[in-house]
Structure 1
């Protein structure tokens, strides 16, 4: 209540908001918990709109917002929020090479609507990269320059700092008070991954963020996937700990910390997948359930996802703004002092599961058979340095002949170089090496030569695609190269100076006059024993691997010798 000048009480009007590019309603749920009336939401994807409508009980229109007529918008709106699509801006999509011009169309439309409705407050969420793009385009001559009067300021926040159990960095742009938002930061640490997993395993189920309990029979989308197969474990561990380019990350994911960003798409063998150890079982690992992901994304266990399949629900969860964060934004957009803001469990006491409940969607299952051109690309751990300097075993499936081989890369992320590893290279290295060095390397090169010569390389692609049993598996070959690489590096450490000279000579031999300008050469000579070991191994095994290739029939999707 607010006292007027005449001494009479006048009820404060509830703030009215619209949610643009609303997805499943992460903004809407948070704002409603903060006491804001969400008048309408707008979203192109029908299943997300259905999810929003059934959970948040307000008008949710399925519409292409780029074609939304301004005259059809509600009036007397105090707050505008939204999350325009991030696909064109995200570095994780298309390697950062999205169509920025197309992506900016949605931001232009969002700001056009803000300019038309003239709300008191507005906020827009997107990936961190968008912050710099908006700042640049708001300048004179930029495509957003006409909106400079809207008071837009960009901020990149880590939502873990605001109580979300996920290290999720996002751009939040708008005309809100960032210092007020910072004043909402909790004094205690957010839930951990372990808190989420144990809370959902309890009986009754305890919502780890919102604090209330529900019967286990009421918990939806908490079906565990098959355990990861030994091959899937190996691939996940390699993708995280010895990736060919990116820095290492822990495997399995630590239970005593918040988690990495929950993504909209991932496979059973992706670097982005969060993988946890199964308690009480050695070498048993699984991915998270949909409900575990949703809780880590700040959704209450009562929130339901009305997707037709598992993949749709993954997309709904990963693309959403965490409502536990948008709740705080709802308070900021109403300019409430931190002391006036109830804790989230206090604001969420009225939450109930919507009806009807969605259909349970079966999770992904372990792959039984893969495409005949399934790729393999993994660094040899003992022959890998940081910053992308590595020897890797891979297969080339671009043509009718599948070719296995060892490749070498060095330089920087903006200037990647390589050296050919073939018979000619093997001869050159032999002629440039002195007798003692050749003797030190000989037994290890003979061991790897015999291993490859006796291995069923011709059948390896069929084994890798799960079309045939038995035979040599790619990881068996990788492990052998790793073992020989470690032993040979140690042996060559007694010849480090000579090894450095041989490496420099090979670079000059293969790159000629351009060798002087190559980046990263000094790093190779500082690690000469490791690099020369990789060069010797790669140029020894590649001719043997190339001599044992096989064809695959694209039309029949089958492999033939």
Structure 2
């Protein structure tokens, strides 16, 4: 039921409203949103023009309770998630500051006394609410509001995106889950295809139709160049800590989480095979992101900067989800729920259309001291254990070399890869193994002897042409590491002794046994010893023997 006993529509307010993802879902469910509140002016403009209700530009923290409208049945909102997100400084955000917004939201609920309320945030918020609701916690005083929290995957509610979110409120979550039969399960590929080349566009989520000339913000970016592809692939496929992702992103599944900020070379960005240019890959357009975030194709984003539109979309709660949540808040039976395709026709996009913002272009200007830091794919393990090619920008000219890191998040250990280590390890080998090792390292040594190392920084910072690129060096090290690992895998006794010798050279016999992460090195000793030899060989040729990584670097965490 979306009307009161007196026959009027249920009235709602939307806090921390952004562009109106909550408001649109509630509207489509027959609920009147009488006011939205957000501090970002251009988001409020977008909300007002699309949802046709008052959207006030105000810091919700400073909002006076007496200024709120009366006779409110529903309160919804999405307090900022920045301080709670693990993507913010590895989860080390200011939780106390972030809780100020949650407390303000609940204070408004407490003051307005609506029939029902709901709040959205990142999944981490569920445990924070549980902890802070206990005796002595920052949220204990709100226990009378009947706070229930669940972590939901919005892909189960008609959103073509694997977006996990904490939803808190006092409504029937089981009823919400029962709407599953009314939702469509869409993939990234279906959304991209639906916005393709045809002159009539069919909205993949809401079933709307629009002629291509009326489709805004669907301007493809330039495809990623070779350098951007290498950086993206390293961040997604061979990251030293996080799980591997597909590259390009798979089209046969819902898309990964759409974020508010990303660059052409970020781990977070979604990269697809370009439908317009076979063999190339590109990032998503603004319109593709919006559809994947559950917005109708006629919803307009009013901003003159591409980055602002990405932020608007990434920060929004998908209206395709809030439509179903709104029905759960008013206890609509499953049998009475209309699909998004049925109700979407009621949404009329605003006029005039938003001007499409120019998309990002490949970076053209770089610092002459631009940093390079990539793990050698064949010589890395997860949990940060890796052999890493990097440049040292504090020297003049910039120097290049290979470092080895292991340990744990609280104590990162490094070993010096130099001529002395190489000599000691080669000297420990029986003659037949030494010949095989030197043969395996021969191609790398030949490459290094002719490489124009001075070119690498100039090419990497895009300051001029050259012969040897940093990625050429990385590829040669990768090949050498893979080859040498295979050779050493048949010599367990030697690799065990060699690993112990390398650790003792740097840290001494007594201390070495207590270093964190040694068990993992021992289990993978063929790979580690191969990396020690490859790295030491390269550093000798790169003349980086005098550059020593810190023996122990305490993590800030």
Match of 1:555 in 2: none
Is the 1:393–1:407 contact (alpha carbons within 8 Å) kept by the matching residues of 2? Answer: yes
Q: CA deviation at 1:162?
A: 1.4
Q: Is the 8 A contact 1:22 1:83 kept in 2?
A: yes
CA–CA separation in structure 2 for the residues paired with 1:2 and 1:472:
68
Distance 1:224 1:394 in 2: 33
Match of 2:434 in 1: 438
Contact 2:83 2:95 survives alignment (8 Å)? yes
Task: Work out whether residues 240 and 375 of structure 2, in 8 Å CA contact, stay in contact via their aligned partners in 1.
Answer: yes
From 138, 141, 150, the counterpart of 1:143: 138
1:292 aligns to what SS in structure 2? Answer: helix
SS at match of 1:336: coil
> 2:462 maps to what in 1?
466
Which residue of the partner structure matches residue 541 of structure 1?
Answer: 538
Answering whether residue 221 of structure 2 is matched by residue 258 of structure 1, we say no
Assess if the C-alpha contact under 8 Å between 1:402 and 1:549 holds in 2.
no
Report the more deviating stretch, 63-72 or 385-394. 385-394
User: Deviations for 1:174-224, whole angstroms, at most 9, x for unmatched residues?
Assistant: 111111111111366511111101111133000000012111110000000
| Alpha-carbon distance change, 437 to 105 in structure 1, aligned in 2, over 3 angstroms | same
The match for 2:154 among 156, 159, 162 is: 159
- Of 513, 522, 526, 1:525 maps to 522
Q: Answer whether contact 2:149 2:169 (CA < 8 A) is retained.
A: yes
Q: Give the Å deviation of 1:318.
A: 0.5
Deviations 1:97-151 (A, max 9, x none): 1111111111111111111111111111111111111111111111111112111
Over 3 Å counting, the alpha-carbon distance change for 1:400 and 1:338 in structure 2 is: farther
Counterpart of 2:187 in structure 1 is 192
Corresponding residue to 2:61 among 66, 72, 76: 66
1:124 has 2:132 as partner = no
Aligned-residue offset at 1:549? 11
Query: Is 1:492 paired with 2:488?
Result: yes
Aligned to 2:315: 319
Contact 1:180 1:332 in 2 (8 A): yes
DSSP 3-state at the match of 1:173? strand
Unaligned runs of 5+ in 1: 4-8, 551-561
Report the Cα distance in structure 2 between the residues aligned to 1:470 and 1:403, rounded to whole angstroms. Answer: 16
Structure 1 residue 532, shift from structure 2 partner = 0.8
Structure 2 CA distance for partners of 1:221 and 1:2, relative to 1, 3 Å: closer
CA contact (8 A) 1:241 1:249 kept: yes
Give SS of 2:404's match.
strand
- Cα pair 2:187 2:255 within 8 Å, conserved: yes
Give the distance between the partners of 2:246 and 2:371, measured in 1 at CA. Answer: 24
Matches within 5 A, 1:280-291: 283-291=279-287
Partner of 1:556: none
Alpha-carbon distance change, 398 to 293 in structure 1, aligned in 2, over 3 angstroms: farther
Structure 1 406/293 Cα, relative in aligned 2: closer, same or farther at 3 Å? same
Once residues 345 and 534 of structure 2 are traced to their aligned partners in structure 1, the CA distance between those partners, rounded to angstroms, is 64
CA distance in 2, matches of 1:192, 1:48: 28
Stretch moving more, 390-399 or 316-325: 390-399
Task: For residues 448-499 of structure 1, give each alpha carbon's deviation from its aligned partner in whole angstroms, at most 9, with x where no partner exists.
Answer: 2332232111221110111111221111111110111111112222322211
Look up the SS of the partner of 2:299 in the other structure: coil
Q: Which runs of 5+ in 2 are unaligned?
A: 548-557
2-structure distance, mates of 1:323, 1:222: 20
1:30 pairs with 25, 31, 55, which one? 25
Instruction: Say if 1:193 and 1:296, in contact at 8 Å, map to a contact too.
Output: yes
Q: CA deviation at 1:226?
A: 0.5
Q: Return the TM-score normalized by structure 1.
A: 0.93
Q: Using the TM superposition, give the Cα deviation of residue 62 of structure 1 relative to its aligned residue in structure 2, in angstroms.
A: 0.1
The 8 Å contact of residues 2 and 30 in structure 2, kept in 1 or not, is answered as: no
Secondary structure, in 3 states, of the residue corresponding to 1:348?
Answer: helix
RMSD: 2.2
* Alignment partners' CA distance in 2, 1:188 and 1:49: 29
1:409 aligns with 2:389: no
| Separation in structure 2 between the aligned mates of residue 376 and residue 233 of structure 1, nearest angstrom | 15
What is the 5 A alignment of 1:168-187?
A: 168-186=163-181
* Equivalent position of 1:76 in the other structure: 71
Identify the range of structure 1 (61-70 vs 347-356) with the bigger mean alpha-carbon deviation.
347-356
Deviation at residue 415 of structure 1 after TM alignment? 4.6
Structure 1 residues 78 and 400: alpha-carbon distance in aligned structure 2, compared to 1, 3 A threshold: farther
Task: Give 3-state SS (helix, strand or coil) of 1:22's partner.
Answer: coil
What are the superposed Cα offsets for residues 495-516 of structure 1, whole Å, 9 maximum, x if unpaired? 2221122102322332333332
- Cα displacement (A) at 1:273: 1.1
2:513 match:
516
| Contact 1:162-1:186 at 8 Å conserved across structures | no
- Give CA deviations for 1:287-327 in whole Å, capped at 9, x if unaligned: 11000000000000010001120000000000000000011
User: Which SS does the other structure have where 1:429 is aligned?
Assistant: helix
8 Å CA contact 1:30–1:324 kept in 2: the answer is yes
For 2:105 and 2:365, locate their aligned partners in 1 and report how far apart those are by CA, in whole Å: 44
1:521 Cα offset (Å) = 2.1
Matched residue SS, 2:338 = coil
- Superposed displacement of residue 346, structure 1: 1.5
Distance 1:400 1:308, change over 3 A: farther
CA offset digits 1:23-42 (Å, max 9, x no partner): 01100111111111101000
Residue of structure 2 equivalent to 1:133: 128
Q: Which moves more between the two structures, 429-438 or 296-305?
A: 429-438
- Does residue 103 (structure 1) correspond to residue 103 (structure 2)? The answer is no
Q: Which residue of 2 aligns with 1:378?
A: 374
The offset of 1:58, in angstroms, is: 0.2
| Equivalent pair of 1:210/1:348 in contact (CA under 8 Å) | yes
| Partners of 1:87 and 1:158 in 2: CA distance | 20
Residue 42 of structure 1 contacts residue 61 of structure 1 at CA under 8 Å; is this kept in 2? yes
Question: What is the TM-score with the length of structure 2 in the denominator?
Answer: 0.93
